Chains A and B, each alone.
Chain A
């Protein structure tokens, strides 16, 4: 297993990790806070795995069995496979397992896309381009921006509540 110690900036290997320690993994402030809050909503066994990974720098080897569908189909999903076969980071692999636990079919469908990524290049929207957007669409867009702003504020409040809490509490 690859050691991630060099990329994980945790300092106190003997202490339990806190949510604010997750922020050391990212540069962008929004991503830091959202990820920390996201982890706080994970199942306890996922949070435990995140804590262990942050403490030790060793890749998680969490494996879960997911059951879904009426016929109760089940498949195994492992952090190691997500990291090495699908190219996810250790943290994203654990978050993915948490997602799959909540919505197995959605997550497994997304897994298929992971093997064959199709995407687009996001654009810098110019003033000329903004002029092409109709006023009605702009109104709806502004509503979405307001909603997102409120969401972000809620996320930041949540982060402030949990920042100094231990992840594995």
Chain B
């Protein structure tokens, strides 16, 4: 073959390759454009119609979620309440005439709850506290070790809140023991870490400068949600 023919052949081949590449790129670009357009349209659709749903999903993703040990514990505690308060909390307390009998009754309740929740407790103390202070849990009280202190005013003024406080404080006991005494109930490592992050003196937010920050701490959120869960289960029979 003469050189000119070879050259023309080569140029044609190169041209064909180039054209094919250019067409392929155009096709790819067109596909990309179509994909991007579809994405934008979908996004706008999500924005218009799915905003509320997206918000709820986002909230749930960061919201504090219960774990399965909580659900089991809630049922167990509710069953204890059903045994102790077959006709309701106030009805039972109305049958207890003296402060001593009320104190003894609550101590018996706590003893039972201790068993079902698998926690230890060395002392239950009733004393006069500020009107809005219902109770306190101490993991390391200097005198007794693990202690729950309850406002004795609530024995007569508001027994329902007193019982809720008992459950709240017992949940704090569960939190502490799960971290430091073996995770018998099977909470996740992340959950224990969330609790651990809040319970130290340096990290715990007291309610005196921002109540929102206090209430949203993992340990308090957890205990409050637990109380709600137990009372809801208990309420199904009352």
Contact = CB atoms under 8 A, between A and B. Distances in A.
Interface of A: 26, 31, 34-35, 38, 86-89, 91-92, 95-96, 99, 106-107, 109-110, 113-125, 129, 132-134, 136-141, 143-145, 148
Interface in B165-183: 165, 168-169, 172, 176, 179-181, 183
Nearest to B147: A121
Contacts of B90: none
A143 B211 CA distance: 25
B193 A88 contact: no
A125 to B, nearest CB: 5
A116 B200 contact: no
16 contacts: A31-B209, A92-B211, A99-B212, A116-B134, A117-B207, A119-B136, A119-B207, A120-B199, A122-B201, A123-B176, A132-B180, A133-B196, A134-B192, A137-B196, A143-B193, A144-B193
By CB atoms of chain A within 10 A, which of B141, B179, B210, B224 has the most? B210
Is the interface on chain B under 10, 10 to 19, 20 to 34, or 35 or more residues?
A: 35 or more
A144 B194 contact: yes
A134 B181 CA distance: 10
B221 to A, nearest CB: 10
B192 A89 contact: no
Nearest to B209: A31
B138 interface: yes
Given A92-B210, A110-B212, A124 B219 contact: no
Contacts of B207: 114, 117, 119
Contact of B189 (A119, A139, A145): A139
A12 to B, nearest CB: 24
A121 B224 CA distance: 16
Contacts of B73: none
B179 A133 contact: yes
B133 A117 contact: yes
